[in-house]
Chain A
């Protein structure tokens, strides 16, 4: 069985119809567990005090911000190569989610930075790359809105998305390339354990919660885009049928009726 059969909108709708409810339930359950664990059952850090609790939203949001862009880039590339409209629509549906989580990462980072670094913002490589990636998200969404023809919009937005990949890559790896005020990766297999278990385990739960919430939102938004595309096609067909009726000559004797 080929994975490409899900590129068929009807097949995609049939599969996701069964998935939606369990995914929403899992997202709500994980969020409830993660939030209660991280807010109520974790200690304050000996240096950072209670600001360490910002970790539980900042890290998952930042990971999603970058990975959502990567997903959009892969979907756009598949769309361009294989001409699957569902791929373009998945990228389109993911953009507002990625933009929202990028905004969360930027805001929570600034709010965390003020008491810990003594500043809301610095133009360091990672922060700047994430900010530019955020602008790419906004530009991508604006381009979709600006182009009337959905097929032309699919191609042009996909190209814009692929251009922005460099900033998603920099947002992820800038801390490895340059000495930045922002710390290196908190969770890294290569660097070993850098976060104490008291924070690491609830952080994993929050990461899972954010990712499952992302999947739920992505499914809903992609289904919305597929339905919107079909509704548009039906409206266009109806308009063309009306035009044909208007243009058709009246039957003899009907003119005076």
Chain B
């Protein structure tokens, strides 16, 4: 017998995965971008 609540459970976990996954992606991408910017700025200062 199919579970009538399955769409709700999948919806809740899916939305959570999207939001937390998006947050992870944004945080790690920003970290990598700022790291490159800082490396470039420090290299420029040394020259």
Contacts and interface: CB of A to CB of B under 8 A. Distances in A.
Contacts of A53: 9, 13
Contact of B31 (A39, A51, A220): A220
A97 interface: yes
B17 to A, nearest CB: 9
Contacts of A220: 27-28, 31
A43 to B, nearest CB: 13
A176 interface: no
The 4 A-B residue pairs with the shortest CB-CB distance, nearest first, are A234-B41, A231-B38, A108-B12, A100-B23
Interface of B is mostly: helix
B26 A115 contact: no
A8 interface: no
- Mostly helix, strand, loop or mixed at chain A's interface? helix
A17 interface: no
Contacts of A114: 8
A111 B27 contact: no
Interface in A46-60: 49-51, 53-54, 57-58
Interface string A205-232: 0000000010001001101100110110
B45 A234 contact: yes
Contacts of B19: 100, 103-104, 107
Contacts of B11: 111
Interface in A84-112: 96-97, 100, 103-104, 107-108, 111-112
A111 B41 contact: no
Interface string B25-44: 01110110011011001101
A202 B29 CA distance: 31
B38 to A, nearest CB: 4
Given A96-B23, A235-B41, A238-B41, A224 B9 contact: no
Contacts of A11: none
Nearest to A53: B9
A107 B38 contact: no
B34 A231 contact: yes
Contact of B34 (A112, A217, A227): A227
